[in-house]
Amino acid sequence: MSQGNRCVSIQAEQARACTVREALDRVGGKWSIGILIAASQGPIRFTELERQVEGISRRMLTLTLRNLERDGLLHRHVHPTVPPRVEYTATPMARELYESLVALTRWAERHRAGISAARAAYDREHGAPVG
């Protein structure tokens, strides 16, 4: 949810880094991905999200929803009923993003073990956390 990546006055290769950051800044928050995935299955209501995205607080759900809506990744539809009924849906842009995230997912799956091993090795050689 951080801003401030304006991508100015950097040379060649770091420009690419900046473009990647642009994309990551849209999903870098602690809850964005979970919400996006839940909303990609079809329209979903506020309270349903609160249940499906485990551990999220009401405040963070609202904030993250607003940001995703602002970036055009979620569409918010308010039914004028009482009690209110609000449904969130992933936009086509968000669905494309999700496709792109699959590549990342596969990377994580491939290297889950390797990373754990690397961490364990590192923590053994240097000071382990709490030790």
Partner DNA sequence: CAGTATCCTTCGTGATACTG
Partner DNA sequence: CAGTATCACGAAGGATACTG
Closest separation in Å from C-beta 81 to a second copy: 22
Instruction: Please choose, from the candidates 1, 84, 12, 87, the residue with its C-alpha nearest in 3D space to the C-alpha of residue 44.
Output: 87
- Asked if 98 touches DNA (CB under 7 A), the answer is no
- Asked if 118 touches a second copy (CB under 8 A), the answer is yes
Q: How would you classify the pairing of strands 85-90 and 74-79? A: antiparallel
Structure tokens given for 91:
């936009």
Inter-axis angle of helices 32-40 and 12-27, to 10 degrees?
70
User: Closer to DNA at the Cβ: 9 or 110?
Assistant: 9
Window 11-30: contact mask with DNA (x via CB under 7 A): ------------------xx
Instruction: Please choose, from the candidates 4, 65, 79, the residue with its C-alpha nearest in 3D space to the C-alpha of residue 29.
Output: 65
Q: If contact means CB under 5 to 8 A according to the sort of partner, which of DNA, a second copy, none does residue 97 touch?
A: a second copy
- Asked if 108 touches a second copy (CB under 8 A), the answer is yes
Instruction: Please choose, from the candidates 115, 111, 88, 97, the residue with its C-alpha nearest in 3D space to the C-alpha of residue 33.
Output: 97
Contact 94, 39 (CB under 8 A): yes
Contact segment (CB under 7 A) with DNA among 8-16, 33-41, 45-53, 102-110 equals 45-53
Site residues for DNA per CB under 7 A = 1-3, 29-31, 45-48, 55-60, 62-63, 65-66, 76, 83-87
